[in-house]
Chains A and B, each alone.
Chain A
Amino acid sequence: MSKDKTSKEPKLKSMEEPLVKFKNVQKSYDGEILVVKDFNLDVAPGEFVTMLGPSGSGKTTCLMMLAGFEPTTNGTIYLKGKPINNVPPHKRGIGMVFQNYALFPHMTVAENLSFPLEVRKMGKTEREAKVNRALDMVQLGEFGQRRPMQLSGGQQQRVAVARSLVFDPDLVLMDEPLGALDKNLREQMQYEIKHLHESLGLTVVYVTHDQTEALTMSNRIAVFNDGVVLQCSSPEDLYEKPENSFVANFIGENNRLMGTVEAIKGNIATVKTDSGDVVVATKVNVGKVGDRATLSLRPERIIVAPKKGKTPNTYSAKVEELIYHGDHIRTRFSVCGHDDFIVKIPNSIDNVDLKKGKQVDIGWMSEDCLALDG
């Protein structure tokens, strides 16, 4: 399903040959359960693609198949147009940053970086130049003679990135590389990796279960669940135009109203919620009239006390809870039979004064309300 979507993807220069191509890839460890069901993905040169999904969704398995550590059960992986199913890992020329960095503890930082060049039988002077350049690139020029254990987590992370880049691979894989870092450091590293990607024109396949990380860094994100890619598109599209309720739910915060399709007209779907309210929504992924549907609403797109007639959908809601968040006030309403309907109200002076228990109208535009699979 993602195949046809990716072809529409503007970031992919469709004229160019994809650097990586997964074609109908399946993977099973025990012959009974498919961990990866039917994986198709094209990665264009210079692209930063993230495989995002909850743990056990098959994203890391796909990465390992690409790196060559797991054989595909069925299907083909192409690198630069050539199938690599039977190419051993050390001949694939793919850089990789491991979850726990896998820096060789018995070698210095410089030796770690020099290792891939050494096995490629590069001369000593050339090796040293490349190692120094790579270390400077990650601002660790001074640390070449240290052992990995003598570095901080962030520094180790940078060494791991530098090592994966030092032999100029066509492709760099990163397997949850920031998982072990604390929040501040993680955000800092996200930008650094993103900058490296942009300045060096790297092609990166990145695996994470952290959606913020994925949104921050990627050109495209493939959302995995249960061995299947549910959507593969740019971060904006993923957030603004989720194609199904899982993606809508998984990416960002989301209010969900359940209901039945009443009518479909063009790209407008009319849905009657289970509480009997009728909602006009943008049709994204619903079947025919009478099918179940999930309405997805972003909390920051809800308008409190809209002017009459401004919003096609306006309902009376009761304030259940107010949580002060500084820049915004997180408000929980009960509306349309839902008592955990979240609205983010910007903290500005001209805003309505809300109190717990107060009855107030809330509304939203039909384009902000997506009718998805039920």
Chain B
Amino acid sequence: MSDTSITNSQELLLTNDGVPLKVSLRKSLRRTKIRSFLLILPPLLFLLLMFVTPIGSLLSRSVDDIAINKVFPQTFAQYELWEDKSQLPSEEMFAAVVNDIRVTIKVKDDEGIDIGKNLLGRSGTRMTYEYSGWKSLISKTIKSALKVDKKSKEEVKPFIWEAPFKDKMIKRDKRWAKVEFWQSLGAMKDPYTMGYYLNAVDLKFDANKNIIQKEEYLKIYNTIWIRTLQVSLMVTIFCLLLAYPVAYLLATLPMKTSNLLMICVLMPFWTSLLVRIVAWMIMLQQNGVVNDTLMYILPCFEGMVNLPFFGATNIDLCFSDEDRLPMMYNFTGTIIVMTQVLLPFMILPIYSVMKGIPPSYMKAAQNLGATPTRAFIRVYMPQSVPGIGAGCILVFIVAIGYYITPELVGGKDGIMIGNFVAREMQRTLNWGLAAAMGAILLAAVLVLYWAYDRLIGLDNLKMG
């Protein structure tokens, strides 16, 4: 038996049917491979569709400047030839602007509908992000480049301007003589731009595409990034401090009591976020429950007292209306409400890890001579680290992108980056900037994961 296999091993091994063994093996394995691939196909497609595609489009949008480059190709080509950027550009560049407008205005979409005007309109919006005023300057110029009879709505004459254009354009709108407008084209001349990312960290391109600081009064995002990290970090820490004892209770109390406690923990999940936020408003606002209670219980004492060492002293120990604590519509409000809202995300992973720590470890540690406190710190706590890690990462990641709570209770100094993403998405329509901020958030989360992996190890992470 063993002899034959040794002699045959030099030759091609065949199956009983005479098919080479390797081929047959590959065939049978391929079938299982295909089957398992088909099995994971639906979730894979779902993942691609719901996760990879949006992130891909987010990333591409954050650098995409193709649209404006299609509208103003000649202008940007001329920009490269413009030498002294402190002086107004030459006639060629003015002509390039007019030509680009004249080419674009005729663009039709696949169905033959005029979209040139809209392409120019969108370019105007885009250009305003770089320098205020572009929008009206472009639309004014379009109107002159394309004169329409008011009554008949017919084009009387396609272009009323003939070269040279420079003086005519400046005459039409003196802003064409402002070199700052021309300079601002530099930031848009490439189809892919880092401009949105720079904007998101309070930097910008100058006329020569060097990276420079934004004007002091326009600097905002760095403050907000730091605040976002601050809030997320503080919320994470407060959640941990509050959640740890609660999770410990949940894990160690008898089933009946811990079930009741668990319901209390999960209650917020069953209540609308808005309702909870409004409840906090009622609690914490200037004339809210907490301040009213403080007013009621704190003593109001005013008058002269003979104190030892100090002698007669005028004491004003009154908690009056001016002393009411500002706890809402500010940083404090954001921290308090977010901590409450995110607390379950901290409790549950810690609880599930604690539940898996056998009580014998604590007993063993005490038996070996450690006081209960020491046993807890040296033996129990290190074993709950995977839960702490998971809870902290979960809370931090959710907090870093939070926006509803800060929007409603953040007021002036409790606003986070998520609110600016929303603002750029909804109001200013600067989606490139919103995408860049989203991408930075994503990167921050990935860095966090990486740091956790380096410090504690991802295998030490138990989500439940």
Instruction: Give yes or no for direct A-B contact (beta carbon below 8 Å).
Output: yes
Which residue of B365, B366, B371, B378 has the most chain A CB atoms within 10 A of its CB atom? B366
B358 close to A100 (CB less than 8 A): yes
Q: Are A104 and B360 in contact (CB under 8 A)?
A: no
Q: Which secondary structure dominates where chain A touches chain B?
A: loop
Return the contact of A115 from the options B358, B365, B385 (Cβ within 8 A): B365
8 A Cβ contacts from A54-100 to B: 67-69, 88-96, 98-100
- Candidate in B358, B370, B375, B382 with the most chain A CB atoms within 10 angstroms: B370
**Residues on the B chain within 8 Å of A120, using CB:** 369
B368 CB-CB contact with A under 8 Å: yes
Q: Is A183 at the interface (CB under 8 A from chain B)?
A: no
Contacts of B379 in A (CB 8 A): 104
Is B368 in contact with A163, judged by CB distance below 8 angstroms? yes
Residue B361 at the A interface, CB < 8 A? yes
Taking the complex as formed, is A167 at the interface, i.e. its CB lies under 8 A from any CB of chain B?
A: yes
The answer on a CB contact under 8 Å between A102 and B369 is no
Binary interface encoding of chain B residues 218-229 relative to chain A, with 1 for a CB under 8 A from any of its CBs, else 0: 000000000000
B172 at the interface (CB under 8 A from A): no
A-B contact count (CB 8 A): 66
Rounded to whole Å, the gap between the CB of B224 and the closest CB of chain A is 39
Partner of A104, one of B365, B366, B371: B365
**CB of A105 within 8 Å of the partner chain:** yes
Contact B378 A67 (CB under 8 A): no
Q: Which residues of A contact B363 (CB under 8 A)?
A: 67, 69, 89, 98, 102
Give the nearest-CB partner of B381 in chain A. A106
Kindly state whether residue B87 has any CB partner on chain A within 8 Å.
no
A99: chain B residues within 8 A (beta carbon): 360
In the bound complex, residues from chain B placing their C-beta under 8 Å from that of A90 are 366-372, 375
Residues B360 and A119 in contact, CB atoms below 8 Å apart: no
Q: Is A116 an interface residue (CB 8 A)?
A: yes
CB of B374 closer than 8 Å to a CB of A: yes
Query: Is B128 an interface position by the 8 A CB rule?
Result: no
Contact A93 B383 (CB under 8 A): no
Interface centre among B363, B375, B383 (most CB of A within 10 A): B363
A365 to B375, CA, bound (A): 60
Do A100 and B374 touch across chains, with their CB atoms under 8 A apart?
A: no
Q: Knowing A102-B361, A106-B383 touch, does A95 contact B367 (C-beta < 8 A)?
A: yes
Cβ-defined contact, A100 with B369, below 8 A: no
C-alpha spacing A100/B369, complex, angstroms: 19
Mark interface residues in B362-402 (1 if CB within 8 Å of A CB, else 0).
Answer: 01111111111011001100110100000000000000000
Q: Is the CB of B368 within 8 A of A115?
A: yes
Most buried by B among A69, A95, A104, A105: A104
Q: For residue A163, which residue of chain B has the nearest CB?
A: B368
- What is the distance, in angstroms, from B6's C-beta to the closest C-beta of chain A? 36
* Chain B residue contacts of A93, Cβ below 8 A: 369
Q: Which residue of B lies closest to A91 (CB)?
A: B369
The chain B residue sitting closest to A120, CB to CB, is B369
Contact at A98–B366, with CB atoms within 8 Å?
A: no
Report B-chain residues with C-beta under 8 Å of the C-beta of A106. Answer: 382-383, 385
Instruction: Contact check, A104 vs B369: say whether CB atoms are below 8 A apart.
Output: no
Chain B residues near A94 (CB-CB < 8 A)? 367
Contact assessment for B367 and A104 in the assembled complex, using a CB-CB cutoff below 8 Å: no
Assembly CA distance A90 to B367 (angstroms): 5
Considering residues B364, B371, B372, B382, which has the most beta carbons from chain A within 10 angstroms of its beta carbon? B364
Q: How far is the CA of A106 from the CA of B189 in the complex (A)?
A: 57
Distance between Cα atoms of A119 and B375 in the complex (Å): 10
**Residue of B361, B372, B382 with most chain A CB atoms under a 10 A cut-off:** B361
The docked-state distance in angstroms from the alpha carbon of A106 to that of B363 is 16
Query: Within A236-276, which residues are at the interface with B (CB < 8 Å)?
Result: none
Given A99-B360, A100-B360, the answer on whether A167 and B368 have CB atoms closer than 8 Å is: yes
- Asked whether A119 and B374 contact (CB < 8 A) given A102-B361, A106-B382, A106-B383, the answer is yes
- How distant is the Cα of A95 from the Cα of B369 in the complex, in angstroms? 9
Point out the residue from A69, A105, A167 that lies within 8 Å of B369, measured CB to CB. Answer: A167
Cα distance A99–B365 in the bound complex, in angstroms: 14
- B378 engages A98 (CB within 8 Å): no
Tell me, in angstroms, the Cα distance from A100 to B385 when the chains sit together: 22
Chain A residue contacts of B374, Cβ below 8 A: 119
Contact with B along A109-121 (1 / 0, CB 8 A): 0000001100110
Q: Which of A131-173 contact B (CB under 8 A)?
A: 163, 167
Assembly CA distance A67 to B360 (angstroms): 12
Give per-residue flags for A187-201: 1 if the beta carbon is below 8 A from chain B beta carbons, else 0: 000000000000000
Whether A115 contacts B366 by the Cβ 8 Å rule is no
- Across-interface contacts of A167 in B (CB, < 8 A): 368-369
Q: How far is the CA of A67 from the CA of B365 in the complex (A)?
A: 12
Partner of A102, one of B360, B371, B378, B382: B360
Find chain A residues with CB under 8 A from B364 CB: 96, 98, 102, 104
Q: Is the Cβ of B370 less than 8 Å from the Cβ of A115? A: yes
Q: Which residue of A lies closest to B362 (CB)?
A: A102
Residues of chain A within 8 A (CB-CB) of B370 are: 90, 115-116, 119
When C-beta atoms are compared, the residue in chain B nearest to A92 turns out to be: B367
Nearest CB of B to A81, in Å: 21
Question: How far does the alpha carbon of A163 sit from the alpha carbon of B364 in the complex, in Å?
Answer: 10
Contacts A67-B367, A88-B366, A95-B367 given; does A104 touch B372 at CB 8 Å: no
- Give the distance to chain B from A154, nearest Cβ to Cβ, in Å: 19
Q: Is the CB of A116 within 8 A of B369?
A: yes
Q: Once the chains bind, are A102 and B358 in contact (CB under 8 Å)?
A: yes
What are the residues of chain A within 8 A of B382 when measuring CB–CB? Answer: 104, 106
A69, A90, A92, A120: which has the most chain B beta carbons within 10 Å? Answer: A90
25 A-B residue contacts at CB 8 Å? Answer: A67-B367, A68-B366, A69-B366, A69-B367, A88-B371, A88-B372, A89-B366, A90-B367, A90-B368, A90-B371, A90-B372, A91-B369, A95-B368, A96-B364, A98-B364, A102-B358, A102-B360, A102-B364, A104-B361, A104-B382, A115-B368, A115-B378, A119-B374, A163-B368, A167-B368
Q: B interface vs A, CB < 8 Å?
A: 358, 360-361, 363-372, 374-375, 378-379, 382-383, 385
Supply 18 further A-B pairs (C-beta < 8 A) apart from A88-B372, A99-B360, A105-B383.
A68-B366, A89-B363, A90-B366, A90-B368, A90-B370, A92-B367, A95-B367, A98-B364, A102-B363, A104-B361, A104-B365, A104-B379, A106-B382, A115-B368, A116-B368, A119-B368, A119-B371, A167-B369
